[in-house]
Amino acid sequence: MFERTLQDLIRGLRAHKASSKAQEEAFLAEAMVEIRDELRGKDMALKAEGVLKMCYLMMLYPLPPPPGFAFHVVEVMSSPRYHLKQLGYMAAPMAFSGETEEVVLTVNGIKKDLMSPHLSLPPLPLTALPHLLSLSPSLSHTLHPDLLHLLTHSSPRIRKHAVLCLLPCWEAFPEGLREGFPRLRDKLLDEDQGVVGATVGVVMELARRQGGKNYLPLAPELFGILTGSSNNWMLIKVVKLFAILTPLEPRLVRKLLPVITNLISSTSAISLLYECVRTCIVGGMLDPDRPEGEALARVCVEKLGGYLRDEGGDQNLRYIALLAMVKIIPTHPHMVAEYQEEIMESLDDPDVSIRMRALELVTSMVDRNNLQSIVDQLLAHLSPAETPSLPSAMASLQAAAAGDSPSSTSAAVSLSPAYRLLLAQRLLGIIAQDTYTNVTDFQWVVSVLVDVAYVSRVDVGAEIRDMLLDVVGRVKSVRTYAVGVLEKVVGDDAFRERGRDGTGEEAIVEAATWICGEYSTYLSSPLSAISDILTPTLSACSPSLISISLQATAKIFGSHCADVSSRWNSDTHEQTKALVTSLQSGYSTFLSHPEIEVQERAVEFSQLLAFMDADLASHIPPKPKLNGDLPGMEGGFEDPNDSDNPPYPKSLFLFQPLFTSHELNAVALHAQGAVRVPEGLDLERDIVPAGGFVDSDLPELESEEDEEEAIELGAGGGAGMEELRKVLREQEGKKKKGKGKKKDGELTAEEKADKERRKAERRARQKDNPYYLGEKEEEVDVDVDDIPIVRLDDEELVAAEESVEADSKKSKTRSSKSRSKAQKPPPTPPPDFDRTGELPEGASDTPAPPSRPLAADRSTSGLAGVDLLSPSPLARGSTSMYEEYTAGDADEKSEMENGNGNGNGTTELSVGEKQAEVEAAKEVEVVKVKRKKKKKQAE
């Protein structure tokens, strides 16, 4: 019968690729039937072919393996034929999972193949073991001695594979690390560089997962590899290892500094250069306090800058150079700033990863001198030239094949929303860095924020809103300019329309509306601002914007009314009445709004406007004065009794005091923590006594010590309030008179006994109540003369008292110095900028000490819980059958066999003593039994 091979299966799949899905599924079903028949057959070659085809289909399609597939793989793995066994081990990682029970069937076969004397057999299981060992801790525990045995194999290929298998083995069996660590350390000195490279990789992974504390003893071997190896990949791993070890052992810096400097100046591998720079930074070699730190940093930056200036260089080299400069700039920003032009040119690179690194560098090297230039360049990248649409992938490939300029690709990257969002966020972060520490012109800040709002086309509205409110609240001198700019934003209908697409413009309109309302005295046209805010399309906006708009129009209206009161006449009277009517019409739309905040503000302002409308209707505007020459008629026919009343209606000042009673200032960071607790306020006292669990049937206990305090009724308020206080005091006196308490001397013996009985009953009821703390025990009179006098010479208390006194003296001297300094007028900075914010009255501007963060709980399970430096606990059982005998051990063994006949007088140990020593050293992998030698006693 004709059997389809793997090549035939692949040809059939390719032939059915162009056909319908039903035909392809039918072909797959037919192939699966053939595979099941081959797996159930007795021919091992056909079975191996079926396993191979099934693995191929599992990689291409989400097909579940047939039942018993793992068992068939075990059968192929146990085949005596080499090429079939190879297929079995290749399929094992795909056939076995954590729930596969057939893994236990492979143990003996794997051990037999690992210990085979044929050089071609051990590599087969070693290729599959990294996956199998991670599935079963028991398999790792069983095969761990065999892996250690293979570390001394004569074949370098087998030793290298065995070293690589130790990492997944120790992940599943962490206790094996303690036993195998000496063997792993020996492989760092192996004669084959491939074995050494594999060992360095395993050690680096272990140190990365555990921390470097366990691997500090390997520093001499690693330093020898660093100075003697010429393999760049191995050097990269060793340098990474030293980056982990150097923070734990600062003495390594002095040893590594010459070698790292030599590598930086001589290597042509940019990856190795980057790792050397990273190690220098992590290890503190570039610390400005070190004498050689400045020179080493200069060498690193010049080496990296050469890759940036190489216009026709490799893009990977440019990326690595930028990445390394990101590491250097925190300690030496002035050196990196010398390459500002090259870094800014990298923002135009078509590779988006290079752009990201350049953008990260740009945000880190900003200072007062280059802030505006950098922000302007970033703003230019944020608003590139308009293109009709993004190029397709085919068009990009054709342009690259034709060798066109990458400008089109650069523009396409600039138009991507993700890049624009990141660029806008970084631009805003540059401006607001450390509370605007690099800003010297806040009018420029407001204009940049508005420009970003218009050209970004991404959702950064919340960030711009917060910054606008923060800048206007802190800098009083910029409020006039900000209101003039934002007044135009409020009146821009196209900008409002864009905000409905969810790109963040609505949040900016909120900030502009709030600022125009809060600082309405700076508006050029209050009436135009009211009409721009209360647009007919306001009802389609979010509830937060509607509530802010209603509040802002009320503020602007109140400021406008207070302003027109000084020039009140019949014309302003009619204009104000029309404005009130217009506001009432605008507010009426929101009287039944579903959002309670909007509805509440609309109702409140409508009621106030109704009161003001009635006042305007009843008020008679003043008549124009006559300018005749008749004597005594200068005042016209005005009533002399109305000289005390103003010519304008008093309701004009109804709105303004509601919003101008307190000035809104920036709040300091620690203002809430600086609020003092008022006197008499006990924060620990329960609001509800006894937690609300009070037995209503219990009679109230009378307290002899506590007396009811008189209720404070206050003062003032007029005659009505005085009458109310009089009635309340009379009622209070009647209650005290009716509920007078007797003193202990006035109680009879029966009353005292009844009182004690009630107390005892109450204590018995409250005994099992978890919310009852119980009463204090009665104090026992103690004779003070009987208390012994002991002198406490506590040095710590004395030192603490002395430190307190010293601190008080220092504070006094500081206060005196501060008073002397306060007498001198301080120089005013160019912008009046409130950096700290407002604090409660009497509070200090010193920030409260931050609470100590809780230490991160380090995982103590798995490899992280193995501490190789601490003394190992006694082994609970033998974990290894591997033994190694050295020449010294053989000599000791021969001496032991010679007995007492040798010249040293060595005595032979009994069987019990041997057993005891071996059991005490079970955890040690290399067992060296030391014999106790006793000197002969002199006859």
Separation CA 130–CA 110 (nearest Å): 13
Structure tokens at 491: 């009146």
Separation CA 763–CA 769 (nearest Å): 10
Quick count: other Cβ atoms within 10 Å of Cβ 583? 22
Structure tokens at 487: 């007044």
Note the pLDDT tens digit of each residue in 57-98: 999 888 888 888 999 999 999 999 999 999 999 999 888 887
In percent, the amount of the chain with pLDDT more than 70 equals 71
pLDDT at 450: 94
Whose tokens are 């350049």? That residue is 358
Is the distance from CB of 99 to CB of 135 less than 8 angstroms? no
Reported pTM:
0.61
pLDDT at 886: 37
Average pLDDT over the chain reads: 77
Structure tokens at 293: 């730190």
Judged by average pLDDT, the poorest of 357-366, 559-568, 671-680 is: 671-680
φ/ψ of residue 286, rounded to 5 = -95, 15
Predicted confidence band of residue 280 (pLDDT cuts 50, 70, 90): confident
What separation in angstroms does the CA of 673 have from each of 25, 225, 842, 843, 845? 70, 56, 13, 10, 11
Predicted confidence band of residue 617 (pLDDT cuts 50, 70, 90): confident
Who's near 475: CB < 8 A, 6+ residues apart?
442, 831, 832, 833, 834
Looking at the domain assignment, is residue 60 inside a domain? yes
Is residue 30 pLDDT above 70, yes or no? yes
What separation in angstroms does the CA of 27 have from each of 30, 50, 866? 5, 16, 53
How does DSSP classify residue 482? H
Which of the listed ranges 86-90, 364-368, 387-391, 495-499 does the model predict with the highest average pLDDT?
86-90
Is residue 913 pLDDT above 50, yes or no? no
What is the SS3 string spanning 215-240? HHHHHHHHHHHHHHCCCHHHHHHHHH
Is the distance from CB of 39 to CB of 11 less than 8 angstroms? no
The three-state secondary structure class of 332 is coil
Of 869 and 185, the structure prediction assigns the larger pLDDT to 185
Residue 37 lies in domain = 1-100
Looking at the domain assignment, is residue 716 inside a domain? no
Is residue 903 pLDDT above 90, yes or no? no
pLDDT at 775: 57
pLDDT at 753: 82
Separation CA 283–CA 248 (nearest Å): 9
The CA-based angle 269-272-274, given to 5 degrees, is 110
Where helices occur in 589-712 by DSSP H, the ranges are: 596-618, 656-659
Rounded mean pLDDT, 632-638:
48
Is residue 834 pLDDT above 80, yes or no? no
Which one-letter amino acid corresponds to residue 350? P
String of DSSP letters for 888-925: HHHHHHHHHHHGGGSTT-PPPPPHHHHHHHHHHTTT-S
What separation in angstroms does the CA of 50 have from each of 6, 26, 45? 9, 18, 9
Structure tokens at 927: 């067992």
Where helices occur in 329-370 by DSSP H, the ranges are: 333-336, 340-346, 352-364
Is the distance from CB of 426 to CB of 374 less than 8 angstroms? no
| Final residue in a domain of this structure, among 72, 100, 128 | 100
What is the SS3 string spanning 648-675? CCHHHHCCHHHHCCCCCCCECCCCCCCC
Looking at the domain assignment, is residue 922 inside a domain? no
Looking at the domain assignment, is residue 566 inside a domain? yes
Note the pLDDT tens digit of each residue in 803-821: 545 555 555 454 444 444 4
pLDDT at 830: 58
Which one-letter amino acid corresponds to residue 233? W
How does DSSP classify residue 618? H
Separation CA 224–CA 555 (nearest Å): 77
Separation CA 334–CA 297 (nearest Å): 11
String of DSSP letters for 747-763: S-HHHHHHHHHHHHHHH
Note the pLDDT tens digit of each residue in 199-223: 999 999 999 888 888 899 999 999 9
Query: Which H/E stretch holds residue 242?
Result: helix 232-245
Quick count: other Cβ atoms within 10 Å of Cβ 491? 18
Query: Which H/E stretch holds residue 177?
Result: helix 176-186
Is the distance from CB of 150 to CB of 117 less than 8 angstroms? no
pLDDT at 853: 45
Which one-letter amino acid corresponds to residue 168? P
Looking at the domain assignment, is residue 5 inside a domain? yes
Which one-letter amino acid corresponds to residue 15? A
Of 530 and 924, the structure prediction assigns the larger pLDDT to 530
Structure tokens at 449: 């924020």
String of DSSP letters for 266-319: H---HHHHHHHHHHHHHTTTT-TTSTTHHHHHHHHHHHHHHHHH-TTS-HHHHH
pLDDT at 432: 92
Specify the number of domains making up the chain: 2
Looking at the domain assignment, is residue 546 inside a domain? no
φ/ψ of residue 833, rounded to 5 = -120, 120
Q: Which of 879, 859, 863 is nearest to 167 (CA)?
A: 863
**What is the largest distance, in Å, between two alpha-carbon atoms of the chain?**
157
Who's near 139: CB < 8 A, 6+ residues apart?
103, 104, 106, 107, 132, 133, 172
Is the distance from CB of 518 to CB of 555 less than 8 angstroms? yes
Judged by average pLDDT, the poorest of 282-291, 348-357, 677-686, 905-914 is: 905-914
Of 467 and 926, the structure prediction assigns the larger pLDDT to 467
The three-state secondary structure class of 833 is strand
Note the pLDDT tens digit of each residue in 40-62: 888 999 999 999 999 999 998 88
pLDDT at 302: 87
| Final residue in a domain of this structure, among 100, 120, 152 | 100
- Give, to the nearest 10 degrees, the angle between helix 123-133 and helix 137-150: 150
How does DSSP classify residue 803? H
Separation CA 817–CA 123 (nearest Å): 80
Separation CA 595–CA 171 (nearest Å): 57
pLDDT at 799: 53
pLDDT at 392: 47
Q: Which residues pair with 833 in a beta bridge?
A: 475
Quick count: other Cβ atoms within 10 Å of Cβ 75? 18
Assign 3-state DSSP to the chain and report helix, strand, coil percentages, each to 5. Answer: 65, 0, 35
Query: Which H/E stretch holds residue 444?
Result: helix 442-455
Judged by average pLDDT, the poorest of 354-363, 597-606, 736-745, 885-894 is: 885-894
Separation CA 823–CA 812 (nearest Å): 17
Of 414 and 361, the structure prediction assigns the larger pLDDT to 361
pLDDT at 201: 93
What is the SS3 string spanning 488-550? HHHCCHHHHHHHCCCCCHHHHHHHHHHHHHHCHHHCCCHHHHHHHHCCHHHHHCCHHHHHHHH
Is the distance from CB of 619 to CB of 631 less than 8 angstroms? no
Which one-letter amino acid corresponds to residue 384? P
Separation CA 172–CA 194 (nearest Å): 25
Judged by average pLDDT, the poorest of 536-545, 659-668, 843-852 is: 843-852
Separation CA 757–CA 566 (nearest Å): 80
Structure tokens at 538: 């306001």
pLDDT at 698: 45
First to last CA, the chain: 94
Is residue 121 pLDDT above 60, yes or no? yes
Is the distance from CB of 170 to CB of 209 less than 8 angstroms? no
Separation CA 68–CA 105 (nearest Å): 13
Rounded mean pLDDT, 594-620:
90
Predicted confidence band of residue 292 (pLDDT cuts 50, 70, 90): confident
Separation CA 804–CA 67 (nearest Å): 80
Let me know if 197 is exposed, middle or buried by CB neighbors in 10 A (0-12, 13-18, 19+): buried
Whose tokens are 């988006």? That residue is 352
Is the distance from CB of 135 to CB of 174 less than 8 angstroms? no
Looking at the domain assignment, is residue 658 inside a domain? yes
Judged by average pLDDT, the poorest of 355-369, 463-477, 707-721 is: 707-721
Is residue 546 pLDDT above 90, yes or no? yes
Whose tokens are 């206060």? That residue is 815
Predicted confidence band of residue 923 (pLDDT cuts 50, 70, 90): very low
Separation CA 904–CA 931 (nearest Å): 12
Note the pLDDT tens digit of each residue in 154-174: 999 999 999 999 999 999 998
Quick count: other Cβ atoms within 10 Å of Cβ 840? 13
Looking at the domain assignment, is residue 228 inside a domain? no
Whose tokens are 């069996």? That residue is 173
Predicted confidence band of residue 774 (pLDDT cuts 50, 70, 90): low
| Final residue in a domain of this structure, among 100, 127, 160 | 100
